[in-house]
């Protein structure tokens, strides 16, 4: 189940990163993105993060799982307030897409947290 969380994140971020990186000017104006370079930089970062998640799924360890959970939850924490505030001004298709991204990344973070073993000695993490 831990590898599924990595794959879920990668399967969302790689296509989203490619879409943003190669975003056309017409589509950017429809989505409300005015500086096109910002979309391209964001797309490149999302693509790199998604590819890293694919590579990390081969041999997950505590640091990679922590990075996956922290990155996903930080993205959810950044998108959720903006989505709630702009609920009425966003186009319905963009609003639905953002809700799907928030839910998908939140679910992947939850799966990673639930499938990570607590410690090597019977669940006593950090107890000596």
* Model confidence pLDDT, tens digit, residues 22-58: 877 777 776 666 677 777 888 888 899 889 998 888 8
Handedness of CA 11, 40, 96, 105 (dihedral sign): positive
Res. 73: pLDDT tops 90: yes
Confidence class for position 120, pLDDT limits 50, 70, 90: low
Res. 122: pLDDT tops 70: no
Q: Could you give the CA distance from residue 70 to residue 108 in angstroms, rounded to a whole number?
A: 11
Give the per-residue pLDDT at 111.
Answer: 92
Whole-model pTM: value is 0.70
DSSP secondary structure, 26-86, as one string: HHHHHHT---HHHHHHHHHHHHHHHHHHHHHTTS--HHHHHHHHHHHHHHHHHHHHHHHHT
Angle 18-20-26 (CA atoms, 0-180°, nearest 5)?
125
Give the per-residue pLDDT at 24.
Answer: 79
């Amino acid at each position: 189940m831990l590898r599924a969380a990595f794959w879920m994140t990668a399967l969302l971020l790689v296509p989203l990163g490619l879409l943003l990186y190669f975003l056309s000017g017409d589509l950017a104006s429809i989505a409300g993105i005015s500086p096109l370079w910002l979309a391209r930089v964001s797309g490149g970062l999302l693509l790199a993060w998604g590819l890293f998640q694919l590579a990390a799924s081969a041999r997950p360890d505590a640091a990679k799982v922590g990075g996956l959970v922290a990155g996903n939850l930080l993205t959810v924490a950044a998108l959720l307030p903006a989505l709630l505030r702009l609920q009425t001004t966003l186009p319905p298709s963009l609003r639905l897409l953002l809700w799907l991204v928030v839910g998908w990344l939140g679910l992947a973070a939850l799966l990673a947290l639930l499938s990570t073993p607590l410690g090597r000695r019977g669940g006593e993490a950090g107890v000596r």
